[in-house]
Chains A and B, each alone.
Chain A
């Protein structure tokens, strides 16, 4: 527990590390979401074009 307390600065230190992890997770999630979204939109468009031809 002493290690986690970081000499009284634990709340500050751990918040920063957790915040960094959260930012990475959000960035990764948004990047994947965008790629999937674009991919799906193109799929729908190609299908729609195929149906009309």
Chain B
């Protein structure tokens, strides 16, 4: 196991493995999202309170979940890079940030669109879930701005890693905000004691959508990490050999 992890942390090995995995992730992701979209929009019954507006959860929940997963990937990778100085970790952290920002934006936008017909407002500043999610978007922006402001990659890695780790405190705040404070946002539906509080006809498309989003996110992340690895290793022999082989970026 440790040998495999050690091998995977080697940039050329990772680059090759990632190139092979990406198409499979895309295939599994599209298949899962395709099924979930059809089932979520046309097969699942309308909610007895929210009507058809509830179908927004099929994009809102997966994007909100991935916004937090991306942050945890970024923070954990940055932490590993900071402590054990594994080069690949900083590349993963740097690659996860823009994706995390996009998925946070998607979660906020779809939540806002859902809020208008359900709450009667696009945004509620007093709501802890909305505000903490917005803070996470700013943390992503801060992380990327900090990286962009420092030319030296090693210094940029270290400084941004500290920011990523400090900002990680916001992730449990987002998750538990609906329990800790009074919130307009509904409580946990999927991960709760006694199992999910949803009818299977609504639940299965949601789980399929979360799975599909995760596969597609994985494919995007691997593609970005590959570019980041190539950039960081641009002066090495293996990259030169790769370029001269004329294989081209896949």
Q: How many Å lie between the Cα of A8 and that of B37 in the bound state?
A: 19
Give the size category of A's interface with B.
Answer: 20 to 34
The contact string, 1 if C-beta is below 8 Å from chain A, for chain B 57-82, is 01110010000000000000000000
* CB neighbors of A among B1-59 (8 A): 37, 41-42, 46, 51-53, 55-56, 58-59
Interface residues of A (CB under 8 A from B): 3, 6-10, 12-13, 15-17, 19-20, 23-24, 26-28, 30-32, 34-39, 41-43, 45-46
Residues of A within 8 A of B58 (CB): 17
Task: Kindly identify, within residues 159 to 216 of chain B, every residue whose CB is under 8 Å from any CB belonging to chain A.
Answer: 216
B113 at the binding interface (Cβ < 8 Å):
yes
- Contact pick for A35, options B42, B63, B105, B230, CB 8 Å: B230
Kindly state whether residue B244 has any CB partner on chain A within 8 Å.
yes
Size range of the chain B interface in the assembly: 35 or more
In the assembled complex, how far is the CB of residue A53 from the closest CB belonging to chain B, in whole angstroms? 13
B245 CB to closest chain A CB (Å) equals 12
Query: What's the nearest-Cβ distance from chain B to residue A45, in Å?
Result: 7
* In the complex, the 5 A-B pairs of residues with the closest C-beta atoms, listed nearest first: A6-B52, A9-B53, A31-B223, A35-B227, A20-B59
Report the nearest A residue to B225, measured CB to CB.
A31
Query: When the two chains form their complex, are residues B249 and A16 in contact, meaning their CB atoms are under 8 A apart?
Result: no
